[in-house]
Each structure stands twice: as structure tokens, then as C-alpha cells.
Amino acid sequence: MAIHPIDYRYGTDEIRSVWSEENKLRRMLDVEVALARAEEATGDVPEGVADEISDAAEEVTLERVKEIEAEIHHDVMAVVRAVEENCDEESDAGEYIHFGATSNDIIDTADALRLRESCGILENRLVALRGALIEKADEHKRTVCAGRTHGQVGVPTTWGHRFAVWASEVDRHLDRLDELRERIEVGQMSGAVGTQASFGENAREISRRTMEELGLREEEVSTQVIARDRHAEYVGWLANVVTTLDKVCTNVRNMQRTEIAEVEEGFGKDQVGSSTMPHKRNPVKSENVCGLARVVRGFAETQLQNNVLWEERDLTNSSSERVVFTEASVLADHCIRRTKNVVEDLGFRDDEIRENLEALDGVNMAEAVMMELARKGYGRQKGHEAVRRAAMRAHDEGLTMKESLMQDDEITGWLDEDELETLLNPDGYTGTSVERVEEVVERLSE
């Protein structure tokens, strides 16, 4: 019976399979086989042993491993014994399984394989999200809207500009992923406390060959476990990614507020918004992302603490990592896919966008007037104060900005009515926004 939401509600079969019990076992067996092949190549185990161990590993089942673990209470030795019992009874190949290794040589290296798989999936998800953001940036690069700071209407921007900012941020996450993969796709064959003494004189070659077989980088130096700063970087990266998604979806939620209503999530023909208010069209997908982002971010602190282990190691990281790696990866995958869906299906309400842009009757264009006064030689600070007074007068007396400005003889001595009309047009004050959006779109579309 499923009890965790990632079993039945969040994530995909693809990402769940990476962090499943079955895949963990298969990757552990991959490591055991790679070790046997390395040791056979160095002459540390008899010829033919590696193939026999490989064949035996193919017959191992999760059910049998669990049965053995229930008896001996050790997960890695349960795997070793499950392989051993599938070896030919007339052969001594079973005696060479796990030869010289300690448990975390197998676990940490197997986790590196799973992290590699997870990163591959997440990379594809982010590339798809970036593509959706690029498309919206290009489509709405000239959709002028009210920019907002502190939740208040400021000078104009464009909706495309917002999407370009988000696409650029997602692109940086992909850059970070490329960099961190070099640091987390790392395995080890270090022995009990990291000295490799159990592997004998060929220890370095055994380690090198094992990682080469698995396509992993070899840990430079370690204790009994690979240092968890590597894993903390992965979880921290996931936290950073979902924070970007949180930002995107928070903006969607705010812009879908009834009082603003510039955009709205796609809403299905038969979709229900509320169990009691039939009219509701709630931004539930965005809220879903924002809520789960909190969970993923919470794991960053846990994984940082997992790097603080006693001497050559203790076991405090083990139990929490079974949860952290799985849940953080699956939930991040879910959030990326859900955000892509939000972006692709986002509806734009042009009338409301224009209404909000013009809601302050030109007061939000005060900067444009101030800067033109400064360029004409009136003075930047002096112009700031004069235009500020005009804006406050417009607020207090219910005037349009143009009406308020026209009441100031000093301002009209520098700017005539036609000039003010032009300066107060929000469509003419988006700066280099379109140009920069186009540059981002072109770069990220290559």
C-alpha cells in the first residue's frame, strides 16, 4: 500500500525508477561486477571469476536480498550473499565477491551511478523548460506591461522581458549542472577507513579500473565514505533550481490575482476550481510548485549536516540520505515539469495588461520626465524634486500626471505639452528591452 505522495502523486515513473529499490540493487551489483573485473585484470582474483560473478548477479532478486537482510541485518552483505548463492557450487567464485571492499565503496559508487542517471533526466527537463520560457519571451517581447517594485507599479517593462530573465536563470542552472556533475559522478574503492590497505599492492590500479568500467571519475582521497560536500552540492543545486521555479510561479500567482488579472493558468473545460465556489479558477499548479519547493529547500540543510561525520565515518548520513536523495530528486523533477506546463498554457489578458499599465494616469512615467529634464540641463536632482512634487500632487488631487505637470510653470518652461505627451507614453519607455530579449532568445535557441 502506497503511503508517500511521490508513490502516487508526484514525479514520473522515469525519475522514480532511478531512486527505486530495484535500481539501487542493480547499481550495487554493477559496482560489485566492475570490482571483480578490475581485480581479475590485476591478477588479484582468479581468471574467469568476474564473468561468473556477473552471471550470478543477473539472477539476484530484490525479494531474496530482503529475505537475507531480515536474517543478518546488513544491507550490503545481504547483496553479497545473494550473489554468492547464485555462483556455481563447484567454483570458489563466491569467495571473491566484494573482495577488499567496504560497504560504502559499493553504496557510494552505486549512488554516483544513480546521481548520474538523475542528472540526465533533470537536465532534459530543464532544457525543455528553458525552451518554453524562450518561446514566451519571444512571443511577448513587445507586450508592454507595468513593471512593479515593492508590489507597486513602476516604469514599464514587457512580459517578454520577464520570461527572458527566467530563461537566462534556468540556463545558468544548466551550466551549474554541467559543473557539478564532475564533482558528484565520482566513485571509490578505498577500503575500511580509506587507506586501500585491503586491496593490497594493486589498490590504485583496482580503483582506477573499477571506475573506468563504470564510467565514473575516481575519488582522489576519502575516508570510508566519499565526502558529502559533493552530495550537498547536488542537493543545494536542486534547492536553487526549485527556488527559480518558485519565483516564476509566485509571479504567475500574483499576476493572476483578481485585482491584477494579467495572466492566468490554463484551465480545463471540466476543471473544478473549488468544492463550494463554482466560479473559482485557482492557480493550483503554481501553488503546487511553490509548496513543494519549500520541501526541497529544506533538504539542503539536512545534506549539509551529512558532511559532518565522526573521524573516518559514522552512520548518521545513511538513513537521511535514503530520504533526501530520493525525495529531493523526485520532487524537483515534478516541479520542473509542472512549471513547464504552467508556462506553456499561460493565458494573457491584453485588456487588463493595458488597464494596469495606464492605471496611474501617467504618474508611473515620472522617471521619463525627470530624465528628460536632466538631459536638457535642468539638473537631475532638481528635476527629481520637481517631478516628485508633481506626482504627489497628482496622487493627492486626483489629477493625471500630465495635468499636474502642466500646472508647474518651471517644468513647462523646459518641456512643452507635446513633449510631455510623448514622455508619458508607456509604449515609448521600454529602453533596450526588446533588443536584449532578442539577444537572449537567439543565444539560448542555438
Task: Please list the active-site residues.
Answer: 150, 274
C-alpha cell at 242: 526549485
Phi and psi of 368, rounded to 5°? -60, -40
> Are residues 28 and 110 in contact, defined by beta-carbon separation less than 8 angstroms?
yes
Q: Are 262 and 142 in contact (CB under 8 A)?
A: no
> Distance between CA atoms of 53 and 57, rounded to whole angstroms?
6
- d(C-alpha 152, C-alpha 260), whole Å: 12
The one-letter code for the residue type at 413 is G
Amino acid at position 120, single letter: G
> What's the angle, vertex CA 308, arms to CA 304 and CA 312, rounded to 5?
140
User: How far, in Å, CA of 13 to CA of 55, rounded?
Assistant: 28
Write down the residue that cell numbers 521619463 correspond to: 368
* Backbone phi and psi for residue 166, each to the nearest 5 degrees, phi listed first: -70, -40
C-alpha distances (whole Å) from 239 to each of 28, 77, 445 are 27, 34, 26
Give the number of other Cβ atoms within 10 Å of residue 23's Cβ. 16
**DSSP result, 306-340:** TT--STT--SHHHHHHHHHHHHHHHHHHHHHHHHH
Helix (H) or strand (E) holding 153: strand 152-158
Distances (CA, A) of 230 to 151, 169, 307: 38, 22, 9
Strands (E), 3-97: none
